[in-house]
Amino acid sequence: MTDTAPAQAVSSEELLHYYREMLLIRRFEEKAGQLYGMGLIGGFCHLYIGQEAVVVGVQAALKDGDSVITSYRDHGHMLACGMEAKGVMAELTGRIGGYSKGKGGSMHMFSQEKNFFGGHGIVGGQVPLGTGLAFAHKYSNDGGVAAVYCGDGAINQGQVYESFNMAALWKLPVLFIIENNKYAMGTSQERASAGELHQRGAAYGIPGYQVNGMDVLEVKAAADQWVPHIRGGNGPVILEMKTYRYRGHSMSDPAKYRTKEEVEKMRSESDPIDQLKAKILSGNHADEDKLKEIDREVKAIVTESAEFAQQSPEPDPSELWTDILV
């Protein structure tokens, strides 16, 4: 199944909100890339540049109390969940002001307050955990939905299918979102995965749909259609978001498995922020001055986060012995 509801009319306020959220993620990730290049961020760092429409569109359809869990390409999800840029950037630089007190880094950040449960470095490892979050929502009867993100590379992991089976068997309130950016680590999806990814739940009776993950309004429309269906006790749904990352798999990846022309073509023809900007201007929802004002606000937030991340102290050595389950 590939059909989802057409994008509905949205207000100027909503359009500007989506524009701001996507721009915040883009500018934040650009700054994180700069800090990594300066040696201020170490370890692994996976940027979300190009994929902003996916998480912003899905998040717009969720409610307070819903749970979110994802893989290691997670900074955008944190910001979309309402986590502060300062705390996220400070975690990237390994400082005490970070969401995990500087001990988690890029791949391991959490916010119980925002119901964001990570950031997980094990490929596909977040899918059974997210299914458990959905079980908790059903068990407590709180009306919540778990949004569980994974990439096209994770979809071939065995634990993903065990999760699909349990979610379908128990009609758990879970939205499985496959962020198909075409390249997993360095192998194209066409060479690594047989069949259509959104159909991977068919054996369990899980409906699956393909969505243009480069258009925030199409993502929002699909999420608006299926999140209430899931919340109504009808069990899980899979949405395969056809998206694209402009940078390498991580900061250490030169991405020589694809051409510069391919990346440039995606940037020039399908960029989610540019597409929304064009719709805002052509529909007279705002003028260039308003969009420039939003960009200035976002840049100020990101600049402040970078300064905070560099000024925040490193964790005291005694922190090695905290937050440990014995």
DSSP per-residue codes, 211-233: EETT-HHHHHHHHHHHHHHIIII
Q: Are 163 and 175 in contact (CB under 8 A)?
A: no
- Can you tell me whether residue 183 is helix, strand or coil? coil
Lowest mean pLDDT among 99-108, 128-137, 208-217: 99-108
Q: Residue 145 and residue 142: Cα distance in Å, rounded? A: 9
User: Could you report the per-residue pLDDT of 156-167, keeping only the tens digit for each?
Assistant: 999 999 999 999
Question: Hey, what amino acid is at 139?
Answer: Y
Any idea which residue has 């991405």 for tokens?
255
Q: Residue 312 and residue 233: Cα distance in Å, rounded? A: 45
Q: Are 179 and 213 in contact (CB under 8 A)?
A: yes
Average pLDDT, the chain: 94
pTM: 0.94
What kind and span of H or E run contains 85? helix 85-92
Residues in the chain: 326
Q: Residue 275 and residue 273: Cα distance in Å, rounded? A: 5
- Can you tell me whether residue 23 is helix, strand or coil? helix
User: Could you report the per-residue pLDDT of 168-206, keeping only the tens digit for each?
Assistant: 999 999 999 999 999 988 889 899 999 999 999 999 999
Lowest mean pLDDT among 4-8, 33-37, 41-45, 67-71: 4-8
Please count the CA atoms within 13 angstroms of the CA of 234 that sit on its side-chain side.
14
Q: Are 78 and 111 in contact (CB under 8 A)?
A: yes
Over the Cα atoms of the chain, what is R_g? 19
At residue 132's C-alpha, the angle toward residues 130 and 134, to 5°, is: 75
Please say whether the structural domain 12-80+109-306 has been given the CATH code 3.40.50.970. Answer: yes
Q: Please choose, from the candidates 143, 140, 142, 120, the residue with its C-alpha nearest in 3D space to the C-alpha of residue 130.
A: 120
Q: Residue 117 and residue 129: Cα distance in Å, rounded? A: 9
Q: Residue 14 and residue 300: Cα distance in Å, rounded? A: 22
Query: Residue 1: what pLDDT?
Result: 44
Any idea which residue has 């307050």 for tokens?
113
